[in-house]
Amino acid sequence: MSEKINVMITTENMEQMQMAAMIASVGAVSGNDVSVFLSMNALKFFLKDNNHKAPVAGDMGKTMLEKKVPPFLELFQQAVELGDAKIYPCSMAMDMLEIKSDDLFDYVGDPMGLTKFISDVKQGQVWSF
């Protein structure tokens, strides 16, 4: 059965970005209605001229980098392209970092405010990273 899955990401840690990307991609390709809200330290990874490396938080992150795990940005893109997930950049973070929509990857949607996100997540699962 299809569910609404909301994923809020504020971290910059590689392990958490990876887990959030897995939830979003697997959730979306399994027929769920997935919304991802990007704020705080997570937004910068979605800049087209992104050269930010996500710092690893622990041993698992180190191991994941050594082995061949699908990069989290690739998984987010697949969530959108294969599973129709929606990725919304937080409008506050956009203002704060002086980011325009054109600066972000094309698969990232229009900016969303917290009020709308809070209203949207009234129904469905909420995952926070």
Shortest separation between residue 81's beta carbon and other proteins, angstroms: 8
Nearer to other proteins, 71 or 109 (CB): 71
Q: How many CA atoms lie within 13 A of 107 on its CB side?
A: 17
Distance CA 19, CA 45 (A): 15
Nearer to other proteins, 68 or 122 (CB): 68
Shortest separation between residue 33's beta carbon and other proteins, angstroms: 15
**Do residues 105 and 77 lie in contact, with contact meaning Cβ atoms separated by under 8 Å?**
yes
Shortest separation between residue 13's beta carbon and other proteins, angstroms: 18
Nearer to other proteins, 62 or 116 (CB): 62
Distance CA 106, CA 102 (A): 8
Distance CA 112, CA 67 (A): 35
Site of interaction with other proteins (CB under 8 A):
22, 25-26, 29-31, 64, 67-70, 75, 78, 82
